[in-house]
Amino acid sequence: MAARQDNPAPARGNSRAARAPAAPPCAMVIFGAAGDLTKRLVVPALYNLVSAQRLPAGFQLVGVDRAAKTAEQWQKDLGDAMQGFAAKGGGEFNADHIDARAWQWLTSRMTYLQGDLTNPDIYERIGQHLAGLEKSAGTGGNHLFYLAVADRFFGPVVAALGAAGLVTETDDKWRRVVIEKPFGHDLASAKALNAAILKTLDERQIYRMDHFLGKETVQNIMALRFANGLFEPLWNRQHIDHVQITAAETVGVEHRGRFYEITGAMRDMVPNHIFQLLAMTAMEPPISFDADAVRDKKAEVIEAIRPVTPQRTLRDAVRGQYDAGTVLGQPVRAYRQEPDVAPGSTTETFIAWRLQIDNWRWAGVPFYLRTGKYLKQRWTEIAIRFHQAPFTLFRGTNVERMNPNWMILRIQPDEGIALEFAAKRPGPTVTLDNVRMDFGYKSYFDMAPNTGYETLLYDCMMGDATLFQRADNIEAGWAAVQPILDAWANRPPGEFPNYAAGSSGPAAADELLARDGRAWRLLD
């Protein structure tokens, strides 16, 4: 309890969240401490954990980067960024102000080491620094290493940590490593990276980060399905017509042209973010909330995705690239005009895919996935369309067609769950209209600011790997998309660019569903 009292800021959120214990004492080392990810998401999430009283008195944050900074300069740079996020709003960090006491609590525990990650000397210095913090700050000898660096460093940094003895667990002192995406660029590289890091770490020490899984609505999918007798009996091919998963962005590639040119929308979003939403939606009930029990079921779903042939790829997978247009009222340039992008680039900024899951629950139910940049709205949702009711009863009435029933799981920006169904319009004749029941998290719960990383960082410190991908899950995801990547690599995309920025994507994506007599939900 002493650790809780030492934290200066009151807890927010509902009462159950406030009762969550503080994490155990530990030192968190961020490789890439001066980078954008640390500034935009990791440190804001740690600040929010301070406000929620989830960090212990024995917490220390060590930044490691090539940038020549002092600890004071690092703290100031981060503080200025946090103030800017709070003033501008609209980003992942959505606090309206910075609490001075909570920020001082965190910065008083921040130190910085400058060094080259390819030089063994920096790891020796890290080891000495951590040993000093264990004695002076009471970190308990527990270490969490966060790799907020380019993916080419993942394997070498883990190997260097192993060579320096920094990830060897002794005397109940834990050592864990968080690895950001991209975890590989294709199936072969993902397998190679898994093999490389597993030479140094046990699987239980590896936390492969996907911040989508930190969203409350994503976590609530299992509660919605498995804690409510109303929904789970309907969650199968007998009742569900199809499922749409959308992750639409209103940003372009910004200053990541060099990265995006070798990545594209499929690699950037589908094997990780989109497939995690798919797995949570389609998985079988686990026997418990034990991490491996949940991850077993998620892996089974991805492994059950029907393999695609080159011929089916050209029919069932659509790629697009944005042209110049207007997004949220502002003119924007075409992808090929972005910095560090080739003038004739064939990299996709949009994908749509019709896939099938070959198991007993989902046989014959199509899943439609789409994600893209510079679209009409920033919108991430899982939309479940139920089979329509028979029309016979309504013959001879004013009802021209049966309205579809939908369950909408909104991930961002307005987290919540909605049900759409038919109701009789008031009047002397039978006329149906669509109505909507809507649950919004913000209107029902007192929600603390959240970037999506808070839960995940806290789980890392607590040793709960439920929301993190295992090696087999990663490889199953890449195995599912690899035939599409191969087919696209061997065939030009046709006319690029093929959708205007600010639209809902290319016409071919609409045709993908139209062939099945269906249509995408509107992005509005």
Residue positions annotated with a catalytic role:
273
Compute the distance between CA of residue 265 and CA of residue 484 in angstroms, rounded to an integer. 12
Q: Measuring CA to CA, how many Å separate 36 from each of 43, 175, 256?
A: 10, 25, 11
Residue 373 phi/psi, 5-degree rounding, is -105, 155
Tokens 């109701």 belong to residue = 423
Taking the CA atoms of 18, 24, 27 and 31 in sequence, report the sign of the dihedral they define: negative
Q: At what angle do helices 100-107 and 43-51 cross, to 10 degrees?
A: 120
Compute the distance between CA of residue 167 and CA of residue 314 in angstroms, rounded to an integer. 46
Q: At what angle do helices 291-303 and 471-489 cross, to 10 degrees?
A: 20
Compute the distance between CA of residue 51 and CA of residue 449 in angstroms, rounded to an integer. 9
Q: What is the 3-state secondary structure (H, E, C) of 355-393?
A: EEECCCCCCCCEEEEEEECCECCCEEEEEEEECCCCCHH
Task: Reduce the DSSP state of residue 433 to 3 states and report it.
Answer: strand
Radius of gyration, CA atoms only, the chain: 24
Q: What is the DSSP letter of 307?
A: P
Residue 188 burial by CB count (10 A; 0-12/13-18/19+): exposed, middle or buried? exposed
Helices (H) and strands (E) in the chain, counts: 19, 18
Tokens 């910004």 belong to residue = 254
Structure tokens at 323: 């042209």
Structure tokens at 324: 């110049």
Q: In what helix (H) or strand (E) does residue 417 lie, and over which residues does it extend?
A: strand 416-424
Residue 198 burial by CB count (10 A; 0-12/13-18/19+): exposed, middle or buried? middle
Q: Which of 322, 451, 467, 332 is nearest to 52 (CA)?
A: 451
Q: At what angle do helices 216-226 and 275-282 cross, to 10 degrees?
A: 20
Q: How many residues in the chain?
A: 524
Compute the distance between CA of residue 470 and CA of residue 183 in angstroms, rounded to an integer. 11
